[in-house]
Structure 1
Amino acid sequence: MLLGIVLAVIAGALVSLQTIFNNKVNERTGSWATTTLVLGTGFLASLLGSLVFEGKNTFTFRHMQLWYWFSGMIGVGVVFCLVQGMKRLGATYAISIVLTAQLGTALLWDSLGWLGLEKIPFTFSKLIGVLVIIGGILVFKLGQGRTKAQARKHEACT
C-alpha cells in the first residue's frame, strides 16, 4: 500500500510538471503542435521503455475490449484541454479543477462499476470529500481575488 501511495504522489507531481512544460511549449507553438509533440515524444519514450523492460511481449495484446484502444485518443483531449485550461486559468487553479474532476468522475465510475471496474458502494462521506475539495478551490480562487483587490487599494493609498 505504501508503494501505491508513493507512486500516486509521484504521478500527481509529474502531471503538474508536465502541464507546466506543455504550457511553455504552447507559448512558442500552437495547441495542436504542443499536443503532437507531447504525445509523440511520449510514444517514443513508451516504446523504448516497453522494448527494454518487456521485450517481445510489447506487442502481445490479450483479451482487450474494443474501447481500450481509444485511450490514446482520450490522451489527445487531456493534453489539449490541459494546455488550454492552464493558459486561461493558471497552473494551480487549472490543476485543482482537473484533479477535482478526476476524483468526481472516478467516484461516479467506481460507484456504477462502469468499464469493468469493481463496483464500490457510493457513500455520502465520499461525496462530502469531493465537495470539501471544491470548497478549497473556491477559497483559493476567491482568496486570490481579495488579495489583488487589497493590493490595488494599498497602491491607491500610497
Structure 2
Amino acid sequence: MKGMLFALAGGFFLTFQSVANATISSQIGTWQAAAMTQWTGFVLAIFLVFALRDRSYKQLTQVTPLYASGGLLAAFILFSNITAVHRMGVTLTISVFLIAQLIAAIVIDGKGWLDMTKKHVGKTQILGVLLMITGILVLKW
C-alpha cells in the first residue's frame, strides 16, 4: 500500500514539475530550466541526506558507473519533457511519456536487463499497453 501511495505521489509531482519546467523554460530557456531543476533537486536531496543522518553515501564508490551515470539521463529527460509540453500540452506529453516508460519497463522485465529479475511478459501486459495507446489516440482527437 505504501508503494502505491509513493507511486501516486510521484506521478502527481512529475506532472506538476512538467508544468513548472515548461513555464520556467519560457522565461530562461530549456537547458537552463533543466539545469535549475537538477540543481534544486540536488540541493534538496543533499539536505535530506544530512537531515535524516543517512550515512550510506559513504558507499558511493561501490556504485557501478553505469548506474551512477543515471543522473545524466535526467538532463535529457527534462529537456524532452519541457519541449514536448510546449509542443503538445501537458496531458498528451504525460500520456506518451507513460507509454514509453511502460514499453521500456516491459522490455527490461522481459529481458532481465540492468540487474533486474527476469519476469514473464504475457499477452495481457502487451494488450494493456495497446489499450493505453488507444486511449492516447482518443485523447489526441
TM-score normalized by structure 1?
Answer: 0.85
Aligned residue for 1:72?
A: 71
**In the alignment, what sits opposite 1:59?**
58
Q: How does 1:25-104 map to 2 (within 5 A)?
A: 25-61=24-60, 63-104=62-103
Alignment correspondent of 2:119: 120
Report deviation, 1:29: 1.0
Size of the aligned set, in residue pairs, is 141
In the alignment, what sits opposite 1:153? none
CA contact (8 A) 1:111 1:122 kept: yes
Q: Larger C-alpha radius of gyration, 1 or 2?
A: 1
Does the residue aligned with 1:61 lie in a helix, a strand or coil?
A: helix
Q: CA–CA distance in 1 between the matches of 2:22 and 2:39?
A: 16
1:87 and 1:59, CA in 2 relative to 1: closer, same or farther beyond 3 A?
farther
**Gaps (5+ residues) in structure 2?**
none
Map 1:103-114 → 2, pairs under 5 A = 103-114=102-113
Deviation of 1:55 after TM superposition, in Å, equals 3.9
Distance 1:53 1:141 in 2: 44
Counterpart of 1:60 in 2: which secondary structure? Answer: helix
1:10 match: 9
**Cα displacement (A) at 1:39:** 0.2
Deviation at 1:62, TM superposition (A): 6.2
Q: How big is the alpha-carbon RMSD for the aligned residues of Structure 1 and Structure 2? A: 1.2
Q: What is the rounded CA distance, in whole Å, between the counterparts of 1:107 and 1:6 in structure 2? A: 22
Would you say the 8 A contact 1:51–1:58 is kept in 2?
Answer: no
Counterpart Cα distance in 2 of 1:30 and 1:59: 36
Q: Give the alignment of 1:139-158 within 5 angstroms.
A: 139-142=138-141
- Any gaps of 5 or more consecutive residues in structure 1? 143-158
